[in-house]
Amino acid sequence: MPESTETAPRARVRRRSWIRGLVPALLILVWLAGAGLGGPLFGKVSEVSSNDQTSYLPSSSDATEVQQLLGEFNDSEAIPAIVVFVGDEELTESQLSAIDDAVSGATDVEGVADEVSPAIPSEDGMAVQAFIPISSDADLGDAVSALEDELRAAVPDGVTVYVTGPAGFSADLVAGFAGIDGLLLGVALLAVLVILILVYRSLLLPIVVLSTSLFALCVALLVVWWLAKWEILLLSGQTQGILFILVIGAATDYSLLYVARFREELRSTKDKGAAVIAAWKGSFEPILASGGTVIAGLMCLLLSDLKSNSTLGPVASIGIVFAMLSALTLLPALLFAFGRAAFWPRRPKFEPEVVRAEDGMATTGLWAKVARLVQRRPRIIWIVTTLVLVVGALGVTQLNTNGVPQSDLVLGSSEARDGQVALGEHFPGGSGSPVYVVVDESKLQDAADVMLANDGIDSVAVTAADSPSGSAGVTEDGIAAFGPPGTPAPEPTVVDGEVLLQGTLTDAADSDAAASTVRDLRADLTDLDARVGGVTATAVDTNDASVHDRNLIIPIVLVVILFILMLLLRSILAPVLLILTTVLSFGTAMGVSALVFNGIFDFPGADPAVPLYGFVFLVALGIDYNIFLMTRVREESLKHGTREGVLRGLAVTGGVITSAGLVLAATFAALSVIPILFLAQLAFIVAFGVLLDTFVVRTLLVPALTYDIGRAVWWPSKLGRGEK
C-alpha cells in the first residue's frame, strides 16, 4: 500500500535518523574490535623488540661488520658476562678453589652457555674475573639474575660477586625498560585523567576522551607489533615508550580540540547529530594539519643513519595516524551516542541568542583579559618575551651532547656499574670488553704491532686455530696471547682470508679515553685495511652517526614544516614567523634543560640524539598549538579583519590549547618514571618546551607579533591586502 503524502516525509526522516545512528555504532564496534586485538599485546612487546645497540647501526659501519663476523670466529653468538669476585683481603687458596668450583658449576644455570672460561686471578691477589657467556636465546634479565644468585650462594664469606660486562649492562637496560607496559602507561593515563577532570569538571567526558586515546594506542600497537614480528620495523624499549606517550598525548590533544568545537555547536543547535558534523568540519583541517606536520617531521627520521632513529619515524607516525583517526571517528561517534549528557553535570545549554550576542568573542574570563592585554601593548609584549627566550637559549652552550658511558645509561643503582668499578681497580679497565680488529691474514703481525704500540692497549691476543693440546701460547679457550712487538704470531683461526685480534683496553670500555684509543687505532690501521669493532667501537660509531643525523635532519624538518604551514595558512610571512618563534622556543628549552641537567640533576652528559629527538618533538608538536591558534585566527580574520581576528582567536582557543599543552607535557613527563637517562632527559626537554610554547609563545609572543604586524602577516595572500 503506497505511503500517504503526510507519512512519506516522516518515513524518510526516520530512515535518515536510523542510518545516521548506524554509522556511529559501526565505528564504535570497529574500534572495539581493534582494541580487543591490540590490548593483549601489552606486555608482549619484548617478544618482537631488541635493545642490542649494534643492530641499530648502519650495516656499513665497522662495528656492525665486525659484530657480524664474531660468530664465525668464535662459533658462538652468546653475550659475555664478566663476573668479578672481590675479597675483603687477599684471597686464600680455599677461597680461590671455591670460586673455581662456582665458575665451573655456572653452566648448570638456565640460560648460561657451555663455554665457560677458567677464572683469572688479579696480580694483587684481591680479585678474580671469569667470562661466563649467556645464551642469545635466553631471557637476559632472568639469566643474569639467576647467575648472580647461584654464584653468591656458592662462594664463601668475605667474597663479593658482581656481574658486569655486556650481559650485565644489557640486563640493567632490560630491567629499566620493564616498567613501560605497566608503570609508564599507568602514570600517563592517570595524569591525563586528572587534568581532564579538572578541565571539564565532568565525570563521563574525561572517560570518553581517555578511551579515545587508549583505543588509538591499542590499534597502533596492534599494527606496530605485527610489523615488528614480520621484521618490517625494528622496535626497541625506547621506541616503545615514545610510541605510548606520543599516541596518548596527541590523541588527547586532538580530542580536546574536537570537544571544544562540539561544545560550541551545542550552544547553537539542539540537534546533537548536526553539532557532531559541524564540529567535525571545524576540527578536521587543524587536526589533519597538526597530525600531518608531526608525521612529516617524524618521517624525516628515515634519512637517519642510525636505525634507532630511522625506525622511530614510521613507528611513531603509525601512532599519530591512529591518534587522528580516533579523534575524527571514534570520538564523534561516542559524543553522538551521549550527546549533552557527556558533559554532565555541566551540560551546554541551547542558547542561540547568547551566541549571536557574543558573536563568537568571549568578553569575560582569563583569555579575554589576555587578549585585551595583547591589544594594549603588542609591541612591548613580543619584544620582551623574545628577549627572555633569547636569554634562556644562551644556556644551550652548556649542553654536553658528546655521549655518555654505557654505565650511566641506567639511572639509580646498578650492579653492573659497581662491577665495572671493581674490575678497573684490580684488572686493566677494559677487561672483558676488548677491541676487536679484523684484518687480512697476511697483515696479522703488522696489525698486532700497531695495537701493542698504542698506550691505550694493555695486551693483544688472537683467536687461535685448533691446535694439539698443550701447544705453546694457546689457552684452553682458544685465545693466544702476543708477546712484545715483533714477537712471531701464534697460528690464528682464518675465516675467508681474515683473522680476528682482541685488544684489552687499559681504560674502561665506555670511557672517553677508550673511545680515543679506538679512533687512534682506526687511523693507525688505515693502511692495513683493518676494521675495528667491539663495545667501545659501537659507542663511537653510534655517537658519530647521531651527530650526522642531527646536522642533516634538523634543517630538513624545518623546511618540510614550513612548506606545510604555507599550504595551510595560504601565506609566506606567517609560517616563517611561526617557525622562527618555535625554533626560538626550542633553543630556550634546550638552554634551560642544560642548566637543569648540569646544576640540579648532575647528569654525566647527554646522548647526541637528545637534541634531535627534542627538536623533532618540540617543533612538530609545538607547532601544533600555533596551528590550532592561527587556523582559528585566519577563520576570524576573514570575517572581522586580522587584528580583531587575533583577539578573537586567542580568546576562543586559549582554554583548549592550554589544556592540550598541559596534557602533552604531563604525558611526556611520565617518561621520567623509566630509569633510563635518555628518556628522563627527553621527558624534561619536551615537557618544559611544551609548557613554554603553551604559556609564552602561543599566549603572548605569536598573538602580539601578529597583532603588531596586522594584515601584512598574511602576505602575499588576498587576506593580506584586503583588510579594511
67 vs 403: CA distance, rounded Å:
21
451 vs 122: CA distance, rounded Å:
23
- DSSP secondary structure of 136-192: TTS-HHHHHHHHHHHHHHHSPTTEEEEEEHHHHHHHHHHHHGGGIIIIIHHHHHHHH
639 vs 661: CA distance, rounded Å:
28
What is the predicted pLDDT for the residue at 523?
92
User: Which residue(s) pair with 460 in the sheet?
Assistant: 503
**Full-model pTM:** 0.83
Residue 440, burial from CB neighbour count under 10 angstroms (0-12, 13-18, 19+): middle
Read off the DSSP letter of residue 360: T
pLDDT over 70, % of the chain? 89
Element (H, E) at 280: helix 272-299
The torsion angles phi and psi of 340, rounded to 5 degrees, stand at -65, -25
Cell of 636: 576570524
What is the predicted pLDDT for the residue at 145?
87
**How confident is the model over 583-591, as a mean pLDDT?**
93
Least confident of 146-150, 350-354, 449-453, 553-557: 350-354
**How confident is the model over 533-561, as a mean pLDDT?**
88
For residue 16, is pLDDT > 60? no
For residue 474, is pLDDT > 80? no
What is the predicted pLDDT for the residue at 20?
63
pLDDT in tens, 665-689: 888 888 888 888 888 999 999 999 9
Other Cβ atoms within 10 Å of 430 Cβ, number: 29
For residue 154, is pLDDT > 50? yes
At residue 262, the 3 state secondary structure works out as helix
Name the residue with cell 564523534: 332
Give the ranges where 497-606 is alpha helix by DSSP (H).
Answer: 512-524, 535-569, 573-596
For residue 349, is pLDDT > 90? no
Mean pLDDT of the chain: 83
**How confident is the model over 313-324, as a mean pLDDT?**
93
**How confident is the model over 149-171, as a mean pLDDT?**
86
List Cα–Cα distances, 315 to 318, 457, 618, in angstroms: 5, 41, 18
533 vs 70: CA distance, rounded Å:
10
